[in-house]
Amino acid sequence: MVALVPLHPGPLTEAAVVSVARHGARVDLTPDALTALATGRAAVEKLAASARPAYGISTGFGALATRHIPPELRAQLQRSLIRSHAAGSGPEVEREVVRALMLLRLRTLATGRTGVRPETAQTLQALLNAGITPIVPEYGSLGCSGDLAPLAHVALALTGEGEVRAATGELQNASDAMQSAGIAPIELTDKEGLALINGTDGMLGMLLLACHDLERLLNTVDVTAAMSVEALLGTDRVFAADLQALRPHPGQAISAAHLRRMLAGSGIVASHAGPEDTRVQDAYSLRCAPQVNGAARDTLAHARAVAQRELDAAIDNPVVLPDGRVESNGNFHGAPLAYVLDFLAIAVADVASMSERRTDRFLDVARNHGLPAFLADDPGVDSGHMIAQYTQAGIVSELKRLAVPASVDSIPSSAMQEDHVSMGWSAARKLRRSLDGMTRVIAIELLTAARGLDLRAPVPAAPATAAVVAALRRQVPGPGPDRPLYKEIEAAVEFVHSGAAVAATEAVTGPWHDQAQEGRA
């Protein structure tokens, strides 16, 4: 059964956005939303009928805002705005991103602060529910004045122009797809074209999807870190709650609690815990895993706080205020989102870099404490995971380049009227690439750590790490002579992407959602 997400004048949740964008949930404009739409529209119509100039209603746009537009040209003004601003270029953006963008613009319309007609919002709702997804090109947004070009491509489809993907994925003209779905294109009236494109919805949609995905990856990298600590004969003493409490960062406490649960009952850890073990400290990539993974968790928490505030916002320019005034503003500037999108890319690169360092330790006989060189079956004849680490290193290098912030760049536009922009759309696009790379890096650590645990047999691994290895082995065979690794790497990528590693862990340890309290105990 397809879920239904009601749209009120109030905020949405991250989960609701993911449900609509990724899983096809339907949306429903509530009676409160329709009332708010009608109220906002009345304010715009009153202003349109007055002699007072109003930006985007009786004037041109951007640097052309000094031109007065007479009533008989105002429908053409809105239509021309959408046609001219649908100027994107490059490959089409992913369906889930476009659906998130559409939903978030619809949510803002539902606040009644943009002044569009109820039927315009209902048409956008109908496109979403019919699974019709406008083609939005990769390039075109500067992350200021909203995600103008991406949103304009969506608005173009609402008018029956441009191209879309039908629910089947087939490329169609917007008019044909709408006719097949029984949806009538709209004729834009006063302010509606501007209201459809003046939002941060693309940036915000990608931020929300990224936050959802990064939480799963940070849980998974706690799993792989624990497996690596165990298989590399590291100690779990450094993860003790009292030690972690000396530095009370919440994310660190959660990650350390995860590692403690993962390593509980490990025969491998117990096998070298006596006085004969002369090593007093593990390498940073093992010992400091909670500090780095935890810092990324705290960064994610900050990004989610920013995203939730944006979900509470009504972004448009001009905007309809509760008292009926229609005022210009700068709330469309994407800086708050651009900063956290860049911040997350930094955290992703660093967590992945530490994961790669743990993988590398497995392959070096000087540091892997008795495992074969490169975890090979017959070192010299076999190369084991030697080149898998090359792949990991190549991805990590790319992640470091993607961590260079987009938000510090600005190229003025619109004849210097828009003289400082956020580049938040670009920050969001590169973060999506970063998360894909992080997934692959973690997958290779998972493959390597699982092989390391297998090679420690017959000494038993912890029940939780053994459960992860067993689940992985249903997809990927264990140690043996060299075989093509690329299929195994892709299987491990899907294993990580699906959340299977965390699911296997939780089957032993219990749910991880209660770890914050344990971590602070």
For 183: left if phi > 0, alpha if psi spans -120 to 50, otherwise beta; the answer is beta
Contact between 156 and 174 under an 8 Å Cβ cutoff? The reply is yes
The encoded tokens of residue 292 equal 């780095």
Amino acid letter, 517: Q
* CA–CA distance, 41 with 46 (Å, rounded to integer): 9
Query: Omega into 318 within 30° of 0, i.e. cis?
Result: yes
Please tell me whether residue 186 adopts helix, strand or coil conformation.
coil
User: Please, what's the b/e burial string for 210-244 (b: 16 or more CB within 10 A of its CB; e: otherwise)?
Assistant: bbbbbbbbbbbbbbbbbbbbbbbbbbbebbeeeeb
Residues paired with residue 403 on neighbouring β-strands, in sequence order = none
Which has the closest alpha carbon to 424: 199, 273, 182? Answer: 199
Residue type, 166: A
Contact assessment for residue 61 and residue 51, using Cβ atoms and an 8 Å cutoff: no
Catalytic residue from among 55, 339, 390, 486: 55
* CA–CA distances in Å: residue 422 to residues 56, 97, 136, 144, 199: 22, 19, 20, 6, 13
Residue 161, φ and ψ in degrees, nearest 5: -110, 165
| Strand pairing category for 26-29 and 4-7 | parallel
Which structure tokens are listed for 244?
């972690």
* Tokens at 433, concatenated: 């690439």
The two tokens of residue 386 are 């030697």
Calpha distance 252→71 (Å, rounded): 60
Residues paired with residue 266 on neighbouring β-strands, in sequence order: none
In the block, tokens 């709408």 appear at 178
Q: What is the number of H-type helices and E-type strands within the chain?
A: 21, 9
Active site residue 55: yes
Q: Where are the beta strands (DSSP E) in 70-214?
A: 89-92, 133-134, 137-139, 163-165, 171-173
Bridge partners of 379, per DSSP, are 382
Q: Crossing angle, helix 386-402 and helix 335-363, to 10 degrees?
A: 160
Reduced to 3 states, what is the DSSP secondary structure of residue 323?
Answer: coil
DSSP state, residue 382: B
Task: Write down the residue that tokens 């090979």 correspond to.
Answer: 376
Give catalytic residues, as residue numbers: 55
